[in-house]
Homo-oligomer: A and B are copies of this chain.
Amino acid sequence: MKKRIITISREFGSGGRTIGRQLAERLGVHCYDKELIEKLAEQTGLAQKYIEEQGEYAPSMNRFSYAFVGRGVNGLSVSDYLWNEQRKKIQELAEKEPCVIVGRCADYILRERKDVFNIFIHAPQSERAKRIVEVYGETDTEPIKRLREKDKKRAINYKYYTEREWGRADNYHLTLDSSVFGIEGCVNLILRVLDEIKEK
């Protein structure tokens, strides 16, 4: 079956987000990344910054917002409320149009659909450390430490909502080490793969 929906999960600093964007452009479809956050902000009334971070921070690690906002929405914590809205929005997008979705556990949320192709992009820590300094600039925290924190938080968040281990090969149809292929190489390779399997 033709794969209409491509989900891209990625390690922080691996270039996965850029790969998603370039891939969507080449396929002539929407890439939902920032746009998804905007849509969710509109729908939920939550701040974009909060939604952006909730993709990476497990609820238990984010006690401040918990305590601050409380259990305000239909008896759900704000994190769980956001998760539900996110799930509904992603399912709705997948139903509506072919697209690329970056992050947000879309691989898990769309697991029952046969027209979804799940990709994971990663790279060695040393390469990612270089990249985050290039892309996001220096901060007071050392790059390797920044990576470890982000990776850990993403893994906890993924586990919390999906009960799966983040970064396991068997969650995805294809995983690529972007340090071997380069950003453009990954995009070209994914396009070939999609072309190859479209009749299967």
The stretch from A51-59, A72-80, A178-186 touching chain B is A178-186
The distance in angstroms between the C-alpha atoms of A175 and B197, with both chains bound, is: 16
A193 to chain B, nearest CB (A): 7
Across-interface contacts of A189 in B (CB, < 8 A): 193, 196
The distance in angstroms between the C-alpha atoms of A170 and B168, with both chains bound, is: 8
Across-interface contacts of A177 in B (CB, < 8 A): 170, 172-174
Residue total for A at the interface (Cβ-Cβ under 8 A): 27
The distance in angstroms between the C-alpha atoms of A197 and B184, with both chains bound, is: 12
The distance in angstroms between the C-alpha atoms of A1 and B40, with both chains bound, is: 44
| Cβ contact of A122, chosen from B169, B193, B197, cutoff 8 A | B169
Residue of B nearest to A118 (CB): B177
Residue of B nearest to A9 (CB): B169
Across-interface contacts of A174 in B (CB, < 8 A): 174-177
Can you identify 27 A-B contacts, CB atoms within 8 angstroms?
A120-B169, A122-B170, A124-B170, A165-B165, A165-B168, A167-B169, A168-B169, A169-B169, A169-B172, A169-B175, A170-B177, A173-B176, A173-B177, A173-B180, A174-B174, A174-B175, A174-B176, A174-B177, A175-B175, A180-B197, A180-B200, A181-B193, A181-B196, A182-B200, A185-B196, A189-B196, A192-B192
Q: Which residues of A contact B (CB under 8 A)?
A: 11, 117, 120, 122, 124, 165, 167-170, 172-177, 180-182, 185, 188-189, 192-193, 196-197, 200
